[in-house]
Amino acid sequence: MHPSSFEYFAPTKMEEALELLSKYGEDAKIMSGGQSLIPLLKLRIASFPYVIDISGVQGLNRITENKEFLEIGALTTISSIADSELIKKRYQILHEAAGQIADPLIRNRGTIGGNISHGDPSNDIPAVAIALKANLEVIGKEGKRIVEAHSFVTDSFTNVLKVGEILNKIRIPVAPDNSGGCYIKQKKSAGDFSVAAIAVQLSLHDNDSVKSAGIGLTSVAPKPTRAMKAERFLEGKKINDSVVREAAKIVVSESDPSTDFYGSSEFKRKVLGKIAEEAINLSFERATVR
């Protein structure tokens, strides 16, 4: 299979990339790792007159941590995230999610920025970014702006980026002490998209009641979903079996899965309820390890 013809640009500086984007407007498509885009181009589900490959743009593939944020450049590959010792140690939820995306070969090229921007409701990073209450830094010719992770993807394969804008950095607030999280992904086979997946991040007060909760859902709605009611329900509460069961029910009520190849909507709700309980329990367990 071959994509239909396009013109190709590979800028090495952000200014050049933004210049090209504003020149070609809606006829241009940004490509980073290409692991979602190239299959779409090959199947001719999508075609664009101009492809702007930003993978060579300098300085956007770093993972750094300062007092406030863990900052990840949008072009950082999923493999580098899965292999990062810093992320493994302090942001286990992200480490777990990255290691479960597609397969190792795809992870070697796929990027965190692409995983988020593509807007596929089955992509894993958006739910994690939601649970971690990440800020997404967007860059355009007029400057930078911040978008909260939960409002970045607006519908299936649609995001808030305006014509001429690029996702630049992912900023995750530094995890406080007494916090923990996990990503649980239920899938049919290795390398597959999920039937349902959930990202949970909890931070606790000294008395082990929940100080703040972040919950993001994958594959169970037309877009990555924040389970905000469940977050609010958990906040201030002590974790026990009945609280967890109730929270999981609320999570399910906030989902809107469709029936497809991966299962009926009823089946997906059941799976989600089960993994929601598991994820809240596991996050709590991790948050209480001192």
Partner 1 sequence: MSTIKIRTKVNGKDVEAEVEPRTLLVHFLREELNLTGTHVGCDTSNCGACTVLIDGQAVKSCTVLAAQANGKEITTIEGLSRNGELHPLQKAFLEKHGLQCGYCTSGMILTSFWLLKKNKDPSEEEIRKNLSGNLCRCTGYQSIVESVKYAAQLMNEKEVEREMAVR
One-letter amino acid at 289 equals: V
DSSP annotation string for 94-162? HHHHHTTSS-HHHHTT-BHHHHHHT--TT-SHHHHHHHTT-EEEEEETTEEEEEEGGGTEEETTEESPP
State which residue, 31 or 234, has the beta carbon closest to partner 1.
31
CA 176 to chain CA mean position, Å: 21
Among the listed ranges 38-46, 90-98, 118-126, 205-213, the one in contact with partner 1 (CB under 8 A) is 38-46
Candidate list 14, 22, 38, 243; residue touching partner 1; CB under 8 A: 38
Closest distance of CB 80 from partner 1, Å = 10
Please report whether residue 45 would count as binding partner 1 according to CB under 8 A.
Answer: no
* Residues 188-227 contacting partner 1, CB under 8 A: 190-191
* Residues 84-143 contacting partner 1, CB under 8 A: 102-106, 108-109
Q: State the Cα–Cα distance between residues 290 and 283, nearest whole angstrom.
A: 13
State which residue, 189 or 207, has the beta carbon closest to partner 1.
189
Please report whether residue 261 would count as binding partner 1 according to CB under 8 A.
Answer: no
Longest pairwise C-alpha distance within the chain? 61
* Residues 264-283 contacting partner 1, CB under 8 A: none
Q: State the Cα–Cα distance between residues 60 and 39, nearest whole angstrom.
A: 24
State which residue, 53 or 137, has the beta carbon closest to partner 1.
53
Are 224 and 127 in contact by the 8 Å Cβ rule? The answer is yes
Binding string to partner 1 for residues 143 to 182, with x set by CB under 8 A, is what? ----------------------------------------
| Half-sphere exposure for 206 (CA within 13 Å, toward CB) | 0
State which residue, 49 or 173, has the beta carbon closest to partner 1.
49
Among the listed ranges 33-41, 124-132, 198-206, 267-275, the one in contact with partner 1 (CB under 8 A) is 33-41
Closest distance of CB 64 from partner 1, Å = 22
Please report whether residue 39 would count as binding partner 1 according to CB under 8 A.
Answer: yes
CA distances from 44 to 1, 37, 40, 80, 115 (A): 9, 10, 6, 30, 20
Among the listed ranges 31-39, 142-150, 203-211, 248-256, the one in contact with partner 1 (CB under 8 A) is 31-39
The contact set with partner 1 (CB under 8 A) reads: 1-8, 10, 34-35, 38-39, 41-43, 51, 53, 55-56, 79, 102-106, 108-109, 190-191
